[in-house]
Amino acid sequence: MINDQAAGLGGRVVAGTPRDSLYVLDALYDRDGGRRPEMIVTDTASYSDIVFGLLTLAGFAYAPQLADLPDQKMWRIDRTADYGAFQDAARGRVDPARIERHWEDILRITGSIHTGAVRAYDVIRMLSRDGRPTPLGDAIAHYGRIAKTLHILRLADEPGYRRQIKAQANLQEGRHALARKIFHGRAGQLYQRYQDGMEDQIGALGLVLNALVLFNTRYMDAALTQLRADGFDVRDQDVTRLSPFVRHHVNVLGRYSFQLPDLPGGLRPLRDKHAADDD
């Protein structure tokens, strides 16, 4: 899990067979720190109506990427109402009575997850049996379908909303690419040691990635400041396309020194592009 500043907030090692949606809330509530997220962006594999309901009940704006968006079903409350252009698309029906009937238990489950009394993974598994939701799980799914319908409408109508979701998804992909750079050629060894400290290795990888993101951000900011001071026209639309995941300068070979250098000015001097390359 990363925020919109490209900093990793936490992660979980999970088996590759269950749907990611079983783990979304646990990763969210087990984050290492930072501000409470306002919007949760995930890929399609992390989506389910029950997760949509639980995240909405917990006060989060859930914005999953949905595959085959034109074929997605939307949901209505009043089956007899005329929804105009959405008459055919809103072919599902949300049953408020079903939600109301289980409301006390819904609040109890949401509170238990929020306080850490139970793992969300266990709750979500409990709410489904043999691939079908229990009556309580179905009630939470109906609640989630209200938010899902609003999410689909926003995706269709608000370009800024789509761009926000896409930008966050691109950050995640950029972080994956940087991680592959660091562990190039070592992935097999890493996964062979799954039973021996895999969580610790993933945590160490996250720490290294965050350090590189911070390093890149600080030095890109210094470079932009220098360009502006030299009279170069730095355009905001170009700056927004910069990535903190640049990696051509990252060398993962050799020995490492963790002794802090003496940098009275806070940063190393920026390289002069006209100077001879001493690499």
In terms of domains, do 229 and 142 share one? no
In a domain, 270, yes or no: no
The pLDDT-based confidence of 187 (bands split at 50, 70, 90) is very low
In terms of domains, do 139 and 32 share one? yes
| Residue span of the structural domain in which 118 resides | 20-157
- Over range 236-250, report the average pLDDT: 86
Domain count, the chain: 2
The pLDDT-based confidence of 197 (bands split at 50, 70, 90) is low
In a domain, 9, yes or no: no
In terms of domains, do 152 and 24 share one? yes
In a domain, 66, yes or no: yes
In terms of domains, do 106 and 200 share one? no
The pLDDT-based confidence of 128 (bands split at 50, 70, 90) is confident
In a domain, 257, yes or no: no
In terms of domains, do 63 and 107 share one? yes
In terms of domains, do 45 and 78 share one? yes
* Alpha-carbon 246 to chain mean position: 20
In a domain, 27, yes or no: yes
pTM of model > 0.85 = no
- Rounded to 10 deg, the angle between the 103-115 and 49-57 helix axes is 70
In terms of domains, do 212 and 145 share one? no
